[in-house]
Structure formats: structure tokens, C-alpha cells
Structure 1
Amino acid sequence: MKSLNSFDKFIYLLIVANVIAMILDSHQNIHEAYGNLFYQFEFVSIIIFSFEYLFRVYSAYKQQKFKGAINYIFSFFGLIDLFSILPFYLNQFVKVDGRFLRILRLFRLTRIFKLGRESKSLKLFIKALSAVKGELKFTLFLSILTILFSASAIYYLENEAQPEKFSSITESIWWATVSLATVGYGDVYPVTVGGKIFASIISLVGIGVVAIPTGIISASFVEEIIAQNRKKKHPLK
């Protein structure tokens, strides 16, 4: 990580303080006593983060005009910067449902990712992901197909025996997802012989489904590290 200037250090400390404040504010007794103080702190933080975001957009525009600004806005950290301030403005100016508001508040956690802006390791990881995005898209497509097939199969195998748990293919998607992810919470499970045999097969398939993207990302990450080390040893090549 390169050396930080005073402003960057201030922003990093502000991010950490925001995360701590959000955790403390989740406690009912603390919220009742200091809720207004937490709101004022977030309000000031949002103003600072907003100016930081606008400054970065302007800096990108100065370097490459409109193209530079667009590239930053839709970059990983550009989106992180936007999502870290957007929920506050939506809450202030748009009337939203309470459940949706709770989901929006989760986006405040994206401020944590701002801490990795100058991290070479994180940038290397993002570069590795970008290098294999085609393979990852195919893996995601394959995973979705496998989940849908598994949900359909277990529905037809278990619906008659457990109509309340496997009432539809849609309801069965939960079982298929946790089974393929090899999590297996145990809240929903097959009781028929056919269902148990199929579940055993799916559990084995799930190991491969999880291993494929892990292997792809790991291989790409290692390649990026090797390429970076070569550049350090032979900077002119």
C-alpha cells in the first residue's frame, strides 16, 4: 500500500468511525440514548464522502474528459463510493418502504471497501477477476442450470411425501442451493429413498460446482502475481 496523504488518512479514520458507529447504533439501548448523535455524525460524514466522490469524478474528468469520468463512475471503487452515500440521500428525499430502507442501510457497509482503495493486493485480485470474467460467467450460468434442475427433480421426488416443504419448484430452490453449496442447514431434507439418493448425488456434484470457480480465480490470481513479479525483475521488458 502506497503512503497516504493527510486527507486520505482522515477519510480512512472516518470510514472506521462510521463502521463502529453503525455497529453501536444497532443496539437498541444505545440507539435510544444516542440515536440523534449518530444521525448527526452520519450527516456530516455523508457531506464529506459526497465531496470526496465529486472530487474524484472531477479529477477523472480532468485527466480524460468525459470518458475518464464515466470510467471512474462505473469502476469498482467508483460504485463503492456511490453506494456508500446513496442510501442516505434516498432516505432523505424519497419515500421508501421500511423493509427496503433496512436493505438500503446495508449498503453503508460498502464504506469498508473504501479502505482497500490503495491496496495493491485488492487491485491485483480485482484484475485477476476481470481476466477470467468470461469463465466465471459460464460457471454462474452452469450453477443456475444445476440449481434449477436439482430443484425440479427434488420437487417431483419429494412433493407427495412432503407437500409442505417441497410445495413447488420455487420453494425447492432453497434446498437445491444449500445442497449444491455443500452447506446443508438441515431445515429441509428428503425422506424418500429416491430423494435421498438424488440428494447424495447432488452433494457430490456440489463439491465440483464450488471448486470450479475457486480454481479459476486462484489460477488467475497466481498468474497475476507471477506477471507482477516478472515486471519487478525486468521492468524494461
Structure 2
Amino acid sequence: MNLQSTSLGSLNLQIRKRIFDLFFNHQIKHNYCNQFERFITYMIVLNMAGLVLEHIPVIYETREQLFHIFDVVSLGIFTIEYLLRLYVAPEDPAFSSAKYPRLAYFKSPFAIIDLLAILPFYLGAFLDADLRALRALRLLRLLKLFRALAPAVNEFLEKNKDKSFRYKIYALVNETPTSGNLHQIFDMFIVTWVIVSVLAVIFESVQSIYYHLHSEFIILDTIAVLIFSTEYFMRIYSAPEDPRFQGWLKGRLRCASTPTGIIDLLAILPFYLEHFLHHLFDLRFLRVFRLMRLLKLARYSGATQSLFTVIKREWPVMKAAVFILLLLVMLAACLGYVFEHEAQPDKFENIPQAIYWSVITLASVGYGDISPITPAGRAVTIVIALLGIGIFAIPAAILSSALSDQLRIERESMMNELYHMLEDGVISPDEQELIEAEAKRLHLTQGELKRLLEKAKVEMGLEHAPDEDAKDPKGKGVSGEMSLEFLSKHPELAAEQLKITISKLQQIVSVSDRQELSKFAENPDNVTTLQGNMLKLLLEHGGEKAKNKG
């Protein structure tokens, strides 16, 4: 019986530790801790959205059952989370030192929030009382977000404790070595509001939706503008921390005049113009420009930045292609007007109208609303349709090839960074974070990143490429010196390697018998002339150092 109890206790400890390591241990890198917290965060946000939608009668009254099912599912997920955290509390370093770890967790602020987030449902289910007022406590689920936010805030404050207030703002809105996870959370918050506000603008155009949710759309847009305005002023205020924007006034003006600064301004400007100048002008047409908020996402996309780089680099070639394209459009429009004006004066009324026909023909769209009927007009159509296949493909081919080259250049830059980081033979945790961030920007998988690291180590001679003749028992490459092929391509590393080799030779001479070494060097059968001269030089240098010490 005792043996059985011992085995059950041991199994319980193993299960508890396994659950903690899988879902709650931040010290382990490749577990499910981040994914689990992200899932809980998404559920909290969806619950808040559901709580808001419940107060819109046109949505809630016809879908009350669906809202109830979602609430039950959410409650089940939050209950499981609470019970799991309570179960693994003895494994958590924050509570393991307490006499009763689970009681210590139960009394902790986050545990109380977690309990209050699920308590109203159970009170309403098991107590015969009108507890509808307790449903308002579901708002406490929003406080569960602080579980993910609090560590990021503490990390941010610790990294920036000696920094100025302006630099802290700069580190929050821009990626810096001291930004930490709080910057990523801030970016995700802005991206979420960009998507929500753009969707609201789109749905506003649907009259049946706008009729019922007119007030909600106004409130949502006001909140979005307040958030984007705050972000904009934070970026302008902290701009002088960037070396490109030095200067109290000029630096901020330069920051505001950058493409991303102009986009941020255009995202909020229509709201203020319409609000303050509506009595002077009819500015409702400006509402459509709120869709420009979507351009704010370009700041958070590495692919978009690569595209802009490619367009800027290939612009001279692109200009030539665009010029030829415009030339063909104008030529085709003029010929179309000449040949079709008399036959179809209503469709080919003037050259600008013929330009429309020319563009849709060259682009191989062919709507069919304007088509030639004369033999000469049809012959021109055949020629420009065939030309259009190639002429429109030129810019696409240029961009495709340039994007491929840009990706190759960026990966080569990453390889050079890896070479630089591996100069001391190891990669520090900070360097590992930088590598993973760059790999994420370049959309590299963990497998591809691992292969690049292995390739860099092999080329630097830190490891040999695995083969049948050179493997340790675990199948790993045997460590060695940097390869000559690699050193021939990197003279600065070759110089460093020579310095290290000379230092090693000096150490060998200092611990060896100089007389025996000298006899060995004087015998031409033992060494070449160059080797003998080098040995003599090392011995002389070692002798001088010994005299100086004496």
C-alpha cells in the first residue's frame, strides 16, 4: 500500500512538473508557454468584443443562444487555466518557497482576478438569486491582460531605468536594444486598432449596418483617432532621440515629413478637419481617406520595406519601362481615334476617351464596352494587344527579379553578421535574440536558420562539415581551426588568427628549454630556413623578456 502511494505521488509530481514546464515555465525556450498565453489573450479580447456586442440589440437579440454558448466555452477555458495554475503552484518559483504554495497562489492578485473573472457564472448557476448585476464582473477578464503586460512593463522599466523620459517613449514606439517585449505589445495594439478602424470604415458603407450601428461607429472612430493621435505625438516628441532627427524643432519637422510620418498624419487629419471645419465646408468626402490608415501597417512589415527598397533601387529601369508604356498608350489612343472616330463618334469621341480603350487593351483586360469595328482599328487592336502582353510584363519581371536579389542580399548580410558574431567562437544570448529577430524579418524558418548557423560555423572552421570519416560518436562535426579557404576571403580574420598563433608560439617558447630549441633550430635537417629564422626570432624575443623580468 505504501509502495503504491509512493508511486502515485511520484507520478503526480512528474505530471505536475511536466504541465508547468509545457505551459507556464518562461525559462524553457521551446515549450508552449508563449502560445498558451497568446491564446488566453485572444480569448480575453474576444470576450470583451462579445460583451460590447451584447449591448447592441440588433445583434444580440437574434443571436442570444450563440452568445451564451461562447460565454460557456470561454468560462470553461478560463476555469481550466485557473485550475492548472493552482495545480502547478508548487512548481512556480514565485510560490514554491511558501509553506502552502497553492494558498499563496490563491491569495495572489492575479489569482484573485482569475477567480473573479469566472465567479459570476458559477454564482448564477448554483444560487437561486438574481445575480445579473454580477455579470458586469466579466469586465474583470480584461484585467487578466495584465498577466502578460506586467512582465513586459517590468522588463522595460529595468532596461530603461537610467534613461530619460523621452528616450523611454522612443524605446516604446521604436525598436531599440532596450525596447523588450513591451514594444512588440505596443506594435500589436496599434496594428489591431488599424485593422479594426479600417473594417469599421468598410462596414459604414453598408447602409443596413450603418443604420443600426451609427453611434457605435462614431464612438469607435473617436477612440481610434485618439489612439493614433497619441501614437503620432509620441513619435514626434521622441524623434530627437534618433540620430537622423537631431534638433528640437528641425529634427521633429524632418521626422514629420518622412513618408511614414505623413501617413500617420493623414490617418488622423480627416477626423479633425471634418470636426472643426464642417460648418464651413462639406467635408464628408474626407471620410474615405480614413482607409489610408491601412498604410500604417507598412511600418510593421519587413516585406513592405523590402519592396520599397527594391522600387527605389530599380527606379531608373522602371522609369524606362513606364515611359515606353505611356508612349504606346498615347500612340494607340491616337490611332484608335483616327480610325474609329467617324465610325463610332459616341465611343471614340476624343483622344482622352480613346486612352481608356488603349489602356484596357494593352493590359489585356478587354471589358468590351468600347471595341473597334473598322478593319484598320481592329488591326491596331491586334498589334497593341500583342505588345501589351510583353510591355506590362516588363515591370513585373523587374520587380520579381529585384525582390529575389534583395532577399539574397539581405541573407548575405545576415551571414556576414553571423561571421562577425562567431569571431569569438560562441553566440551570446543577446546575439541569439538579434539573429532570431532578423530571421523573423526575413521569414526564415527555424530549420533554415539552423542550417545557416551550421554553414557559418563550418566556413569559419569552428566545425567541420559532417562526413563518414570525421564524426564524433554523436554524429557532430569535429571542432578545428578556421579553414584556409575561409581565411582567404576574410583578411581581417586572417590577421587575428595570425596574432593568436604567434601568441601561442610565444607561450610554447616561454615554457620550453631554450637551449634545446636553439640546437633544434640550428640543424637544417629539422627546419626550413624560414622556420629556423622564425624560431630564432622567438627565442631572442623570449630571452629579452626574461632579462627584463630579471
Report the TM-score, using the length of structure 2 for normalisation.
0.40
Q: Deviations over 1:183-202 (max 9, x none)?
A: 11111010000000100101
**1:37: Cα distance to partner?**
2.0
Aligned partner of 2:192: which letter? L
> 1:130 and 1:168, CA in 2 relative to 1: closer, same or farther beyond 3 A?
same
Within the alignment, does 1:17 sit opposite 2:199 as a pair? no
Q: Aligned partners of 1:87 and 1:29: how far apart in 2?
A: 24
**1:70: Cα distance to partner?**
4.7
Report the TM-score, using the length of structure 1 for normalisation.
0.88
Given candidates 228, 235, 245, the residue that maps to 1:49 is: 228
> 1:88 and 1:141, CA in 2 relative to 1: closer, same or farther beyond 3 A?
farther
Structure of higher RCO (CA pairs closer than 8 Å, 6+ residues apart)? 1
Q: Aligned partners of 1:21 and 1:162: how far apart in 2?
A: 45
Within the alignment, does 1:130 sit opposite 2:312 as a pair? yes
Within the alignment, does 1:61 sit opposite 2:244 as a pair? no
Aligned to 2:292: 110
**1:96: Cα distance to partner?**
4.4
Q: Secondary structure at the match of 1:5?
A: helix
Within the alignment, does 1:203 sit opposite 2:385 as a pair? yes
Equivalenced residues, count: 233
Q: Deviations over 1:165-221 (max 9, x none)?
A: 000001111101111111111110100000001001011111122111111111211
> 1:158 and 1:128, CA in 2 relative to 1: closer, same or farther beyond 3 A?
same
Is the 2:337–2:350 Cα contact (8 Å) retained in structure 1?
Answer: yes
Aligned partner of 1:46: which letter? V
> 1:96 and 1:142, CA in 2 relative to 1: closer, same or farther beyond 3 A?
farther
Q: Aligned partners of 2:327 and 2:345: how far apart in 1?
A: 24
Q: Secondary structure at the match of 2:372?
A: coil
Instruction: Note the residue ranges of structure 2 that are not aligned, 5 or more in a row.
Output: 1-174, 176-180, 421-489, 491-550
| Structure 2 counterparts to residues 31-42 of structure 1, below 5 A | 31-42=210-221
Aligned to 1:174: 356
> 1:74 and 1:149, CA in 2 relative to 1: closer, same or farther beyond 3 A?
farther
Aligned to 2:275: 92
Within the alignment, does 1:155 sit opposite 2:337 as a pair? yes
> 1:208 and 1:74, CA in 2 relative to 1: closer, same or farther beyond 3 A?
farther
Given candidates 355, 359, 369, the residue that maps to 1:187 is: 369
Q: Aligned partners of 1:213 and 1:75: how far apart in 2?
A: 26
Aligned to 1:81: 264
Q: Structure 1 residues 226-235 or 133-142, which shifts more?
A: 133-142
Aligned partner of 1:82: which letter? L
Aligned to 2:403: 221
Q: Secondary structure at the match of 1:12?
A: helix
Q: Secondary structure at the match of 1:234?
A: helix
Within the alignment, does 1:7 sit opposite 2:190 as a pair? no
**1:71: Cα distance to partner?**
4.7
Aligned partner of 1:41: which letter? L
Is the 2:187–2:300 Cα contact (8 Å) retained in structure 1?
Answer: no
Q: Aligned partners of 1:68 and 1:88: how far apart in 2?
A: 26
**1:138: Cα distance to partner?**
2.7
Q: Structure 1 residues 174-183 or 130-139, which shifts more?
A: 130-139
Q: Aligned partners of 1:178 and 1:19: how far apart in 2?
A: 30
**1:106: Cα distance to partner?**
3.1
Q: Secondary structure at the match of 2:345?
A: coil
Q: Aligned partners of 1:16 and 1:117: how far apart in 2?
A: 14
Aligned partner of 2:203: which letter? L
Aligned to 2:496: none
Aligned partner of 1:217: which letter? L
Instruction: Note the residue ranges of structure 1 that are not aligned, 5 or more in a row.
Output: none
Q: Deviations over 1:139-159 (max 9, x none)?
A: 223222221111111000100
Q: Structure 1 residues 34-43 or 105-114, which shifts more?
A: 105-114
> 1:136 and 1:59, CA in 2 relative to 1: closer, same or farther beyond 3 A?
farther
Q: Structure 1 residues 189-198 or 174-183, which shifts more?
A: 174-183
Q: Aligned partners of 1:178 and 1:75: how far apart in 2?
A: 35
Aligned partner of 2:213: which letter? Y
CA RMSD in angstroms comes to 2.2
Q: Structure 1 residues 52-61 or 154-163, which shifts more?
A: 52-61
Overall identity of the aligned pairs, in %: 34
> 1:30 and 1:170, CA in 2 relative to 1: closer, same or farther beyond 3 A?
same
Q: Aligned partners of 2:187 and 2:295: how far apart in 1?
A: 14
Within the alignment, does 1:144 sit opposite 2:326 as a pair? yes
